[in-house]
Structure 1
Amino acid sequence: MSLPYEVEILLRATLGTLAVGIFAVVFGLILKGIDRKVHARMQMRIGPPVIQPFRDIKKLLHKQTIIPENAVRSIYNNAPILAFAAAIAVMVYLPLGPFSPLLAEGGDLILVLYLLIIPSLAMVAGGFASGSPYATVGAQREMVLMMSYELPLASVVVAVAWKMSSLGFGSSAFTFPVIMSFPIWEHVGAVGAIGAILLLITILSVLPGEMSKIPFDAPEAETEICGGLLAEYSGRNLAMFMLADAVKIVALGTFVIALFFPWGLTPTLERTLDVDIHKYFGWVIDFLFYMFKLIVLLVAAVTFPRTGFSRIKIDQITDVYWKRFGAVALVGVFLLLLDLQVL
């Protein structure tokens, strides 16, 4: 006896979301562990084991959750849940290596951009609701940081989608299946390639800001404002924020890969070795390759900068993102436009 169509769709969506969520949490924590390990090695330290983030989460889940006296309890307790739920929601609209987005027909680039804002907004709300001056300062800084990196990020997304629309895809230009099927590098000339490189540099510069990592970690600055947004969080609430951060790391990396590095490894292996790789085996190869790309992207865009640079002030962050990387993004857009005219 078969299930009704609506029930079957709901069941698939539920199980798919659960699977995607588990993967994002587990691999996100692994990425955080790799980041800490590589960061320590670059500083000539041994560093914690890669599984340390799992131990941190386990410890926090067994600790008491302390709620400040001046906190707005409903917002304070629900902000971590909202941040985690929004981070998981982003993942179901993103392609995971060879696998199309779970909800491919229900969202596009613009929706993902909106969803990526929600975890940061939840942290801001939680910071203000904490009733702590440190958390309030951190929340104010987080709002400034968000307004700073959203302009260059939006410029990159619009530029890539506009390039797809110039190929005749219309409104489908904003969907991930189209962007991944027609990589931007394969549809630009020399001038456009330079523009695409500038856009790639711009979006890579946004990653540390989105993740609140050095040099853009002013909202949490432990040595200045005692952790800022998270100063008053503990126990399960803090664990939820940490899990949301882990999932967001995977989501951001996947987002960049989908825009600029969507290729799988299977076609290259088939051409090089002159063999036909079974479909399911090819999925495994491409998924492992996708995970490898995530690790390389995290180390290059987040670990190296936070090891080589020091924290910059919040007013300097605005200057860097708006005046410098914003200008780089606009030059990249102009070169893409010029490339279209040349072609």
Structure 2
Amino acid sequence: MVVVSLIMRLIAGAALMLLVAALAFLFEGVDRVVHARMQRRIGPPVFQPFLDLVKLLGKENIVPRRAVAWAFNGAPWVAAATMLLVFLYIPIGSLPPILGGEGDMILIIYLLGLSGVAMAVGGFASGNPIANVGAQREMILMMSYELPLAVVVSTLAYVAYKTGMPGEPFSLETFSGMSVWGVVGKVGFLGILCLFLALVLVVPGETGKGPMDIPEAKTEILEGLIIEYSGTNLAMFKITFALRATAMAAIITAIFFPWSLGSFLGFGSIFLYALDFLWFWVKVFVVQIIFVTFMRTAFGRFKIWQASEFYLIKVAGLSIAGMILASVGLVI
């Protein structure tokens, strides 16, 4: 029975990874089209990311002479694999996560961080000074937004524990089963709103898009940490970039927008799971358009010191304010 369960999990995990990768590239294509239309351009076809991926997979991997080959070649695969693993811990609609359990949100933070570290290692290992600059920026940016991200996650877990939400406090399944907005009072609601805004502001840093397009910065450091990559290795990084945006949108959706359309319409059994599965990805799509596409179109790129100050002072302050308000709301 254990073996059958393990095999079923492996099959479901592999199917979900393939689906998520395809959806991430579809979202990437729509993102580029909407971004172009907001700038009054026509933009590329929606399926352009798929065409780019196929082209890269057919090209040769070139390793610079000064590169540390094993780290240079391994970094893109580690970065892509860790981002795919994130989705195994996210509940999809009414379906529980494939690898759900205790401490999921902490593990997700580590996986997101490991993906960023792998990208930085690849830049350092290339031996290119421009990639070195991009890798340093990636590390600084990651260390800056980790503080507000940790405050948001720990505060949400504390709220779940104190209000008696069913499930483990650090499990995303807890928040997908019951809306966190409805378990707090007016003061607590303001605290949750601050936490939501702080997490939304972390999205550009985590995805490296828009105002936080600092480690790549095409017009400044020529793609930064991926400047020396080509072929399959570059394809893996393109997959990673697409997955980062979709993963952050999925996490926001699972925590703050868990509402079930199937339950609202009175569906049951397989129809409930199927409708909520589709509804979940619709919500992810909307979140990604609003908090990724719009933000990267509306705002220019920060300098690295501005980005670090923004996260360590402003966003961290907002998350701490949310923590205080949420905590006070649980007492009064």
Report the TM-score, using the length of structure 1 for normalisation: 0.94
For the residue of structure 2 that corresponds to 1:312, the secondary structure is coil
Q: Pick the aligned partner of 2:323 from 323, 326, 333.
A: 333
| 1:192 paired to 2:182 | no
- Aligned counterparts of 1:197 and 1:136: Cα–Cα separation in 2: 38
Matched, 1:322 2:304: no
The one of 93, 116, 125 aligned to 2:112: 116
Cα distance between partner residues in 1 of 2:209 and 2:173: 30
Q: After superposition, what is the alpha-carbon deviation per residue over 1:122-162, rounded to whole angstroms, capped at 9, x for unaligned? A: 10000000000110000000000001111111111111100
2:2 corresponds to which residue?
6
Q: Quick one: distance in 2 between partners of 1:267 and 1:171?
A: 20
Q: Which residue matches 2:16?
A: 20
* Aligned match of 2:97: 101
Matches of 2:248 and 2:153 in 1, distance apart? Answer: 13
| Superimposed CA distance per residue, residues 278-331 of structure 1 (whole angstroms, 9 cap, x where no aligned partner) | 421222221111111111111111111111111010000011111111111111
* Residue 115 of structure 1, CA deviation: 1.0
Deviation at 1:168, TM superposition (A): 3.6
* Long gaps (5+) in structure 2: none
Q: How far apart in 1 are the matches of 2:124 and 2:178? A: 44
Question: 1:212 is matched with which residue?
Answer: 208
The Cα of 1:106 is off from its aligned counterpart by 6.2
Q: CA 1:106–1:200 in 2, change beyond 3 Å: closer, same or farther? A: closer
CA distance in 2, matches of 1:169, 1:183: 9
How high is the sequence identity, in percent, across the aligned residues?
Answer: 42
Cα distance in 1, alignment partners of residues 173 and 209 from structure 2? 30
Answering whether residue 44 of structure 2 is matched by residue 66 of structure 1, we say no
Q: Which amino acid aligns with 1:293?
A: K
Q: How does 1:1-343 map to 2 (within 5 A)?
A: 5-105=1-101, 107-168=103-164, 172-270=168-266, 277-342=267-332
CA contact (8 A) 1:191 1:336 kept: yes
Partner SS state of residue 137, structure 1: helix
Aligned to 2:64, the other structure's residue is in SS state coil
**1:169, distance to aligned residue in structure 2 (A):** 5.9
Q: 1:107 to 1:165 in 2, by over 3 A?
A: closer
Q: Distance in 2 between matches of 1:171 and 1:76?
A: 41
After TM superposition, give the deviation of residue 10 of structure 1 in Å: 2.5
| C-alpha distance in structure 2 between counterparts of 1:107 and 1:324, whole Å | 27
Q: Unaligned stretches of 5+ in structure 1?
A: 271-276
Q: CA deviation at 1:208?
A: 1.0
Change (3 A) 1:289 1:170: closer
Deviations 1:61-110 (A, max 9, x none): 11111111100000000111111111111111111122110011365111
**TM-score of the two chains, using structure 2 as the length reference:** 0.97
Cα distance change of structure 1 residues 68 and 83 upon mapping to structure 2, 3 Å threshold: same
Give 1:109's aligned amino acid.
M
Question: Which contiguous aligned blocks of 4+ residues in structure 1 show a shift greater than 3 angstroms?
Answer: 168-171
Q: What is the deviation of 1:247?
A: 2.4
CA distance in 2, matches of 1:170, 1:44: 48
The alignment of Structure 1 onto Structure 2 pairs a total of residues equal to 332
